[in-house]
Amino acid sequence: MNSGTLNWALAFSIFTVGTAVWAADQPAPPVPAPPAATNVIGPKIQFETTVHDFGRAKCGDQVKYTYIFTNVGDQLLELSGVQACGCITANWTKKVEPGQTGAVPIGFNSANYNGPVIKTITVTCNDRTNPRPMLQFKGTVWKPIEVSPQLAVLNLTADSPLASVMVVITNNMPEPITLSAPQCNNPAFTVELKTNQPGKEFRLVIAPAAPLPPGTSQAQITLKTSSTNTPVITITALANVQPPVTINPPQILLPTAPLAHAQTNTIILINNSTNAMALSELMVNATGVDVQLKEVRPGREFTAALTFPQGFEIAPGQKVELSIKSTLPMLPTLRLPILQAPRPAPPKVAPIRVSSNTATNRHRLRPPAEMPPMPPQ
């Protein structure tokens, strides 16, 4: 081996040893942490079914069903509440261990229902992925004898004061029924029973016996049936009678007499008739009152502005009103009362009473002129 080769080998050895020593002095790299566990589930609720269709139920029946659920998680499942509109829930399972089952019983009162029914039940639990699972409870409620409408409303106007309303009575049972003659507790109404389908469908026609006064009138109508499920049918009739013309406010109230300053009051007149209305000859039977009429909607709505002068006063016992001529045959004259608070009564002054002590003092304090003369010395 020549000297050049020997020198190269020696240099390479020295470099290799130095590199090894430097590597040994360096700190060891950190060991990577193991991956986080991905199989942690916690409490988890799972229902056998979340929708229950109870089919058809007769009105008044109690419909019951129990929703079954399982804790498919690996920790304790806790139910903190069950809310259901129109349903009754009680004694649901509060705590369920992993792999075990629980129950949510539902009781539904169908007494106030008719036709399709859909109810939603909300369960509150500690399932982090599904803390408020929702259940559905549905079906159809039917009445053995159906009355539609149960409340018969008559909206009467001056043009149709004797309008009627029809109530349909339907027998949903397989066997036919019979109805007695209707009885009404208010003679202001007439009731007529008609048979549409013998034993199955009937019609009740309700109408005023004569034009009713403006306002509300009510009657209760009863019919006896041959059905043991519904032996008596009760129907309420309600008549709302509109006056031919509505005046708002219905009267004018003025401050205490006499008025401290001039005052303007505005009234609104609305024509409820189907005929167009014209107004004229607006007059107040008191001096100094100015009346201005404005037609807001032709033939239908008007406003009247009444301006009372300063010092205006209605005398005790005087009847003051606004009168208006109308073209409606059923109401040729409109009248609006005008009232005013009377003058306040003057305060009463209590009389001065003279006591016996005061009279005695006055006697003692008589002037000398009133004293008897002294005898001569």
Using DSSP's 3-state secondary structure scheme, residue 150 falls into: coil
124-130 average pLDDT score: 95
233-257 average pLDDT score: 94
- Taking 3-state DSSP, the helix, strand and coil percentages for the chain, each rounded to the nearest 5, stand at 10, 45, 45
Bond before 149 cis per omega within 30 degrees: yes
pLDDT of residue 330: 86
DSSP strands (E only) in 209-332: 215-224, 232-241, 245-248, 252-254, 263-271, 279-284, 290-297, 301-308, 320-326
Counting runs of H as helices and runs of E as strands, what totals does the chain give? 2, 25
Distance, in Å, from the CA atom of 65 to the CA atom of 33, rounded to the nearest integer, reads 51
User: pTM for the complete prediction?
Assistant: 0.61
Distance, in Å, from the CA atom of 263 to the CA atom of 13, rounded to the nearest integer, reads 122
DSSP strands (E only) in 143-188: 145-148, 151-156, 165-171, 183-184
Distance, in Å, from the CA atom of 133 to the CA atom of 81, rounded to the nearest integer, reads 11
C-alpha 131 chain-centroid distance: 32
Q: Answer for the pair 284, 338: CB distance below 8 angstroms, yes or no.
A: yes
Using DSSP's 3-state secondary structure scheme, residue 203 falls into: strand
Distance, in Å, from the CA atom of 65 to the CA atom of 117, rounded to the nearest integer, reads 15
Distance, in Å, from the CA atom of 36 to the CA atom of 30, rounded to the nearest integer, reads 17
Higher pLDDT, 141 or 359: 141
Contacts of 344 (CB under 8 A, 6+ apart): 256
pLDDT of residue 20: 46
Could you count the other beta carbons within 10 Å of the beta carbon of residue 374? 6
pLDDT of residue 99: 95
Residue of 167, 150, 79, 66 whose CA lies nearest to 107: 66
Q: Which domains does the chain have, with CATH numbers?
A: 45-142 (2.60.40.10), 145-241 (2.60.40.10), 245-312+319-340 (2.60.40.10)
pLDDT digits (tens, 9 = 90+) for 335-367: 999 999 888 878 877 777 766 555 555 555 555
Distance, in Å, from the CA atom of 53 to the CA atom of 119, rounded to the nearest integer, reads 10
pLDDT category of residue 6 using cuts at 50, 70 and 90: very low
pLDDT digits (tens, 9 = 90+) for 100-125: 999 999 999 888 888 899 999 999 99
Distance, in Å, from the CA atom of 338 to the CA atom of 81, rounded to the nearest integer, reads 62
Higher pLDDT, 163 or 353: 163
Could you count the other beta carbons within 10 Å of the beta carbon of residue 173? 16
Q: Which alpha helices (DSSP H) does 144-273 contain, by range?
A: none
Instruction: Write the burial class of residue 224 (CB in 10 Å: 0-12 exposed, 13-18 middle, 19+ buried).
Output: middle
pLDDT of residue 91: 80
Match 């502005």 to its residue by tokens.
305
pLDDT of residue 21: 46
pLDDT digits (tens, 9 = 90+) for 27-69: 555 555 555 445 668 999 999 999 999 999 988 889 999 999 9
Distance, in Å, from the CA atom of 129 to the CA atom of 72, rounded to the nearest integer, reads 12
pLDDT of residue 27: 55
Match 């006064």 to its residue by tokens.
213
pLDDT of residue 229: 84
141-157 average pLDDT score: 92
